[in-house]
């Protein structure tokens, strides 16, 4: 291949530059108006989003007449009920507590695990990452069946505890908050590790080595190098795990045995078992609005801090 | 202190990694192991005392039917979501429209909404739709497919955009200068380069549809019940050892498909980020 051709291939040949300039003057690569591709995509997505969601929110402002019928009169009774009834308040706090706990445990285990993966590197790390992703891609019911078998009164953990005479009676983990919490960690941990792996990878190992050479203790290295460099990633990842848990339905039902009433479980029960569509819609709207607000406020707080700490960072 | 083995950073973090791996893999190992054991309705045999395929032979026709429904729905969803995702990604990455950032967040919205809520939203929408038009989308798989496309599009957009942003436009310009038309260039040059992204998008959309319980629980009924929903319902009400065999098969097939797609298509395991 001639030098001329090589240059042309890399797009640095003057002729190619001229072509590129002409193409972009026409509004895109070789004259296609790429913006037009957005039209069908936006129309389809908007059609699937706005109309059903809008009607759902409207539904929440009408009184339920039973049998899935709602009155025509506008009312905020559903919201008053949802926001003042201690039954819903309890469900709300339970969901919040379980989600914060699941995200916290995920970060506590996931961060050192991701750190180890990033520092091991090479094919071992990439095959372990593939394995972790595979566990997250297999349908959740399979994982929950396995967890059920492990946690049940005659399951492996209880048999081991009984055999070691650590407990007299099997420990109740299923149909309980403990089981749901374990299920939520199982659900969110793969994503937590994979995202944090990307974060730790951006911290050069030479920084740690330099600090150690200069006599910094482990605690100092954590406090001054590892944590400050991964704070943004930790917050973003924790938030994603929190969001996933706030909406988690299947784990809460199958490990909670219908006794752990989180918001997603309650929404499904309200609509399917009680056929109270209006209240179900109000519950859903409150849940989604709350999760959005948390994300927005943490994002805003963090953006403000980031600007203060590093004025030149985008 | 200097030169000493760094206990907390090297060893403690590896212990955390080992614990996480055991925790994440344990459910699969138990399901796989006990699927070959002599399980009864009341007690699961793990580790199995004797290896048998009895649980596999007991898989009912209902599960096989549900599996074919899930495959069909997942494939159609993957195809539709990828078409929408390809259009969105081309427009977002190459377009010059003002406000593309906002559009990007718009395309990510569906994964911010809990799946239970999405299921409920589409259920009541289909009731209303039937009232208006007389068309009942819930009688067949169409209602479920549309709802799954809604939740799968963000994954397609994310996967295709990730590949598209790294595409070198010079390749297309070279093709055009050599006399190739627009669409020839697109299919001969652009598409082959972004194919890994499209494959990843197809794959993720399929996985989202195939693995879903909450949305399908509202929208899939009768003969159109999907496999995860069927297992979910059976787990709630009556445990049968053949469910272990079905779950073991799902795990094995999933692993094989993931490895295969990774190998053949050079799948990049990219996840759409929320920010």
Neighbour-count burial of A169, counting CB atoms closer than 10 A to its CB (0-12 exposed, 13-18 middle, 19+ buried) = exposed
CB B236 to CB A254 under 8 A?
Answer: yes
Report how far residue A72's alpha carbon sits from residue A140's, in angstroms, rounded to the nearest whole number: 40
Question: What pLDDT score was predicted for residue A113?
Answer: 94
CB A250 to CB B213 under 8 A?
Answer: yes
Q: What mean pLDDT do residues B143-156 have?
A: 94
Quick check: B114 pLDDT over 80? yes
B267: left (phi over 0), alpha (psi -120 to 50) or beta: beta
How many C-beta atoms surround the C-beta of residue A107 within 10 A?
A: 20
Question: What pLDDT score was predicted for residue B181?
Answer: 80
List C-alpha distances in Å: B132 to A25, A267, B125.
47, 26, 11
pLDDT tens by residue, B46-76: 777 777 888 888 888 989 999 999 999 999 9
Q: What mean pLDDT do residues B209-229 have?
A: 93
Residue of B116, B147, B262 for testing the chain A interface, max A β-carbons within 10 Å: B116
pLDDT tens by residue, B16-29: 999 999 999 999 99
CB A45 to CB B84 under 8 A?
Answer: yes
Q: Which residues of chain B make contact with A39, given a CB cutoff of 8 A?
A: 91
Q: Which residues of chain B make contact with A240, given a CB cutoff of 8 A?
A: 274
The tokens for A175 are: 């149909």
Question: What pLDDT score was predicted for residue A67?
Answer: 60
How many C-beta atoms surround the C-beta of residue A175 within 10 A?
A: 16
CB A142 to CB B109 under 8 A?
Answer: no
Complex confidence, ipTM: 0.86
Question: What pLDDT score was predicted for residue A97?
Answer: 96
**Residue given tokens 């919490």 in the structure block:** A181
Binned average pLDDT, 10 residues per bin, chain A of 314 residues: 45 52 49 80 89 89 73 84 91 96 96 91 86 89 92 84 86 88 95 92 85 82 84 91 94 90 94 88 94 90 70 41
Q: Which residues of chain B make contact with A23, given a CB cutoff of 8 A?
A: 169, 173, 176
Q: How close A20 comes to chain B (CA, Å)?
A: 6
Report how far residue B15's alpha carbon sits from residue B4's, in angstroms, rounded to the nearest whole number: 19
Q: Which residues of chain A make contact with B88, given a CB cutoff of 8 A?
A: 37-38, 41-42, 45
The 3-state DSSP composition of chain B as helix, strand, coil percent (nearest 5) reads 75, 0, 25
How many C-beta atoms surround the C-beta of residue B221 within 10 A?
A: 14
Quick check: B269 pLDDT over 80? no
Residue ranges per domain, chain A? 1-40, 79-309
Report how far residue A296's alpha carbon sits from residue A114's, in angstroms, rounded to the nearest whole number: 26
Q: What mean pLDDT do residues B183-198 have?
A: 84
How many C-beta atoms surround the C-beta of residue B1 within 10 A?
A: 9
Q: What mean pLDDT do residues B241-266 have?
A: 84
Report how far residue B238's alpha carbon sits from residue B231's, in angstroms, rounded to the nearest whole number: 10
CB B114 to CB A268 under 8 A?
Answer: no
Q: Which of B167-171, B174-178, B228-232 has the lowest mean pLDDT?
A: B167-171
| Structural element, H or E, at residue A198 | helix A177-201
The residue of chain A with its CA nearest to that of B203 is: A137
In chain B the domains, ranked by start, together with CATH numbers, are: 62-265 (1.10.3720.10)
Residue of A6, A38, A192 for testing the chain B interface, max B β-carbons within 10 Å: A38
- Residues forming beta bridges with residue A64, ordered by sequence position: A70
Cβ(A119)–Cβ(A204) below 8 Å:
no
CB B107 to CB A15 under 8 A?
Answer: no
Q: Which of B183-192, B231-240, B258-267 has the lowest mean pLDDT?
A: B258-267
pLDDT tens by residue, B151-165: 999 999 988 888 888
Quick check: B3 pLDDT over 60? no
Question: What pLDDT score was predicted for residue A262?
Answer: 95
Quick check: B7 pLDDT over 80? no
A27 touches chain B (CB under 8 A): yes
Residue of B79, B110, B124, B193 for testing the chain A interface, max A β-carbons within 10 Å: B124
Q: Which one is the CATH code of A79-309: 3.40.50.1980, 1.10.3720.10, 2.30.30.100, 3.40.640.10?
A: 1.10.3720.10
């Amino acid at each position: 291949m001639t030098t001329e051709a090589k240059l042309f291939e890399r797009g640095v040949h003057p002729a190619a530059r001229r072509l590129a300039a002409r193409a972009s003057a026409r509004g895109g690569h070789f004259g296609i108006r790429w913006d037009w591709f957005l039209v069908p995509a936006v129309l389809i997505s908007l059609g699937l989003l706005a109309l059903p969601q809008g009607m759902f929110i409207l539904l929440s402002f009408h009184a339920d007449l039973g049998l899935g019928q709602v009155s025509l009169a506008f009312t905020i009774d559903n919201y008053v009920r949802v926001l003042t009834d201690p039954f819903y308040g309890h469900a709300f706090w339970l969901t919040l507590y379980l989600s914060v706990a699941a995200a916290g445990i995920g970060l506590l285990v996931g961060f050192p695990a991701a750190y180890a993966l990033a520092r091991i590197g090479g094919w071992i790390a990439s095959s372990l990452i593939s394995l972790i992703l595979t566990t997250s891609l297999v349908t959740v019911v399979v994982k929950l069946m396995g967890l059920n078998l492990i946690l049940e009164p005659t399951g492996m953990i209880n048999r081991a505890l009984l055999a070691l005479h650590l407990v007299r009676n099997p420990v109740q983990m299923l149909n309980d908050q403990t089981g749901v919490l374990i299920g939520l960690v199982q659900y969110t941990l793969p994503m937590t590790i994979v995202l944090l792996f990307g974060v730790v990878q951006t911290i050069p190992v030479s920084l740690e080595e330099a600090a150690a050479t200069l006599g910094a203790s482990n605690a100092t290295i954590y406090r001054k190098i590892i944590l400050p460099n991964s704070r943004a990633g930790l917050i973003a990842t924790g938030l994603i795990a929190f969001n996933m848990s706030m909406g988690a339905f299947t784990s809460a039902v199958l490990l909670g045995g219908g006794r752990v009433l989180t918001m997603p479980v309650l929404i499904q029960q309200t609509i399917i078992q009680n056929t109270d569509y209006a209240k179900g819609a109000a519950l859903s709207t409150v849940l989604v609005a709350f999760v959005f607000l948390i994300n927005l406020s943490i994002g805003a707080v963090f953006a403000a801090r980031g600007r203060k700490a590093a004025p030149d960072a985008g | 202190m200097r030169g000493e083995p760094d206990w907390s950073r090297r060893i403690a973090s590896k212990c955390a990694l080992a614990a996480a791996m055991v925790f994440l893999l344990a459910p699969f190992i138990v399901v796989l192991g006990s699927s070959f054991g002599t399980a009864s309705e009341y007690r699961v045999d793990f580790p199995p005392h004797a290896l048998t395929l009895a649980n596999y032979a007991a898989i009912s026709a209902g599960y096989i039917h549900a599996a074919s429904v899930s495959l069909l729905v997942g494939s159609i969803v993957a195809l539709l979501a990828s078409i929408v995702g390809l259009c969105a990604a081309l427009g977002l990455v190459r377009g010059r429209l003002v406000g593309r950032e906002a559009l990007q967040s718009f395309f990510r919205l569906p994964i911010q909404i809990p799946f239970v809520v999405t299921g409920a939203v589409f259920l009541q929408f289909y009731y209303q739709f039937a009232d208006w038009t007389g068309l009942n989308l819930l009688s067949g798989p169409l209602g479920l497919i549309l709802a799954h496309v809604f939740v799968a599009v963000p994954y397609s957009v994310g996967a295709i955009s990730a590949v598209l942003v790294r595409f070198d436009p010079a390749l297309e310009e070279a093709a055009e200068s050599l006399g190739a038309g627009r669409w020839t260039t697109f299919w001969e040059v652009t598409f082959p380069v972004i194919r890994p992204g499209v494959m990843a998008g197809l794959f993720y959309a399929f996985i989202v549809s195939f693995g879903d319980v909450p949305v399908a629980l509202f929208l899939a009924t009768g003969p159109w019940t999907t496999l995860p929903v069927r297992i979910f319902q059976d787990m709630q009400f009556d445990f049968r050892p053949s469910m272990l065999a079905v779950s073991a098969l799902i795990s094995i097939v999933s692993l094989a498909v993931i490895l295969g797609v990774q190998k053949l298509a050079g799948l990049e395991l990219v996840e759409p980020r929320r920010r």
